[in-house]
Structure 1
Amino acid sequence: MQKFLTLSAALTAALVSGCATQSSNTFQPFQANDLNAQVQSGLLVQKTNSFFVLNDSSSSTGKTYLNSAEYSGTKLDVEKNLLHKFNKSIPSIPLTSGLRSFGMGPCTDWHETKLNQPVQQYTAGSFESAITTMTCSSGGTPLAEALTAAKPDLGAESGNIALIVFSDGMDETNPVPAAQALKAQYGDKLCIYTVWVGNQNDAIGRDSLQQIADVSSCGMATDVNTISSPAGMSDFVKTVFLKPGTPIPDCSKLDDDKDGVNNCQDKCPNTLPGVEVSIHGCWILDVKFDNDKDIIKPAYYQKLDRAAEIIKKFPNESFEVQGHTSKTGSYEHNMDLSERRALAVKKYLTKNNPSTNISSKGYGWNNPIDTNETAEGQANNRRVQLEVNGQPQQPLRK
């Protein structure tokens, strides 16, 4: 009797296991469109913080997929290929992800659903490994139960969530109430996306998936043929994770103060139009002083007179005459020397224009624009610089 029972149990297990259809982990070659450049430029910005996939591993997905010449194998094989393409198309953005399959029998460990990957920090490698854990399809299609099981899976997620369902939609019970309950729990944080992986005689399943997507109001329903190509999958990934943003301008192609030095390299972004600037975009008066002196040489009078005339045209601006030194000698000595030289230039600029919009300050060696390790760098750092505060105004018209 015992032998009979043991044999009977073994036969039963073999029969049930035999209902499982094995799935391939060999995926189609796929060159994904790279979305990283659009994200980095600000053309696209992230809107979703976490995604969770519910994948149909029921016996109906063990049937051969017939709706496209691009794929061979079962519907589960197609789902896994789509997930592979989806995974390769996700740009480098911070995400969490998880995966739960649904069916019955050995492929879901004799439960209605199986947690193939709990929600965790997303990496392309770990999610790819989760895809390959779905090795077969068996049993009914308990999508409603899978939607209910997703509630605790998503419990700790604080940001926006994308729930993505891959299925032929041939559900045993109406899954819409379960989707509504999930939406009620997470509100505007949750968007539901469905991908129909069905044959022509599964059309009723497509309608069911559309109803689920409609529950969230912010999701969408799509199908295999729409998202299989690199462009189609890229559009799907953008819809799930991204939204249009304001592009970040390329600073190397901008010159806001029109001084001939692009914004990336411009250390003085508010210089006035028409003034001579250094390679760093600063209005530098190349006034040289004798060693340890603060007396302006007559050779520089013409240069300073021109600077004074430009300043007169901008009475609404404030100007700071800055004295800078190289890193030679003591700190205290260089601070004093830079202050005296800056004050000397200020007095010259205001001798015919007693304006209150010009101040002077010494910075010593605190703000170098070049290295102090070479003679050339030290010469660049010994400078008198005119800094314009605020955005340049239009000059006075005579």
Structure 2
Amino acid sequence: MRAVPLVGGPVEFRGALDLEITQAGVMPRRLPAWTTEQYQDPSVYGTTVMPSGVRLVFRTEACALEFDVLTSTGQLDTDPEPRPTGRLELVVDGAPAVRRQAPVGNVLRMAGPGAVQRLIPGEPGTVRFSGLPAGMKNVELWLPQQTPTELVALRADGEVLAPLPDGRRRWVHHGSSISHCLEADGPTGTWPVVAAALGGVEVINLSQAGNAVLDPYVARTIRDMPADLISLKAGINIVSLTAFRLRTFGPAVHGFLDTIRDGHPDTPLLLMSPVSCPALEDSPGPTTPGPDGKITALGDPGDVAAGALSLTVVRAELSRIVAARQSHDPHLHYLDGRELLGPAEASDLPDGLHPTAAAYRRMGKHFAAYAFATDGPFG
């Protein structure tokens, strides 16, 4: 086995906009470094280093590969084991080949949600993929979408070369946890990755679990990066966090879109509203887990008339905004999120909010059938 440099060599990181050099190795981040000083909440950094959609791409003649990785996961003091670290997936010549469980590394212990964390340092673990087909092949190593992962070392028993351009269009997507897909069965099971594979495009997933609230630094990031297709899924975090009222929500959406259009005036741009969420359809947030483990809305439905936001209001406002802008922006489109997962599929939301792994895959198929159809916005 020969060592392959992770930085400055043939390996290309895709899906990451920045590489943070750590004591252990290389930590991919899905937002550029300059955004860090603008995070109001530390959880933004945490979701940024959860590598949903991040993969290492190269060509190789190797039949065996070894990756040393250091993961970071959480554990409540009341839980016997750390949270699952997820899987690393190897894709060879475009086809899923092997899945491996990510080893447990660092563990953040806490007494409860929001409690002070205590770091229990861990050691890197080795993940080995062997029995790969002979000859030169295109390889992608997808990192676990829910677990910050530092890449420590890569070894191969054959030559490793840089990937060749493949001519695929670049699709940039931003959304909430329902696009981040922590509950997916693996990194290639998130709905954006499923849809991208069906649409024959390369996806960059900038989704931020719990933090899709029209942050200006996200709009500027999208404005300044190459993109052939752009989609935004907005609303669920805005309602659940009571981030806006009706008076401020519309202008914030316009401002977000205006910023993106400064850099991509003619790029197909799809604005999506939330998927179904029974607790928030007609009630405003904030939210809390109920006795049955499902989220419940704490807001007063009567406050909607005074400007509080429910999902019903958000969908109507997003639809209105797109319709108004289409007179001067013919490449802007709208999709009701319930087309991906609707009220009849509420049983696919175990906690009342997040879809199951199977539902995420189904959402990806629904999105691809709509967006990548010949007459679709990305067709």
Q: TM-score, normalised by structure 2?
A: 0.32
Query: Which structure carries more strand by proportion?
Result: 2
Radius of gyration: which is bigger? 1
Report which structure shows greater RCO (CA 8 Å, sep ≥6): 2
Which structure has the highest helix share of the two? 1
TM superposition score normalised by structure 1: 0.31
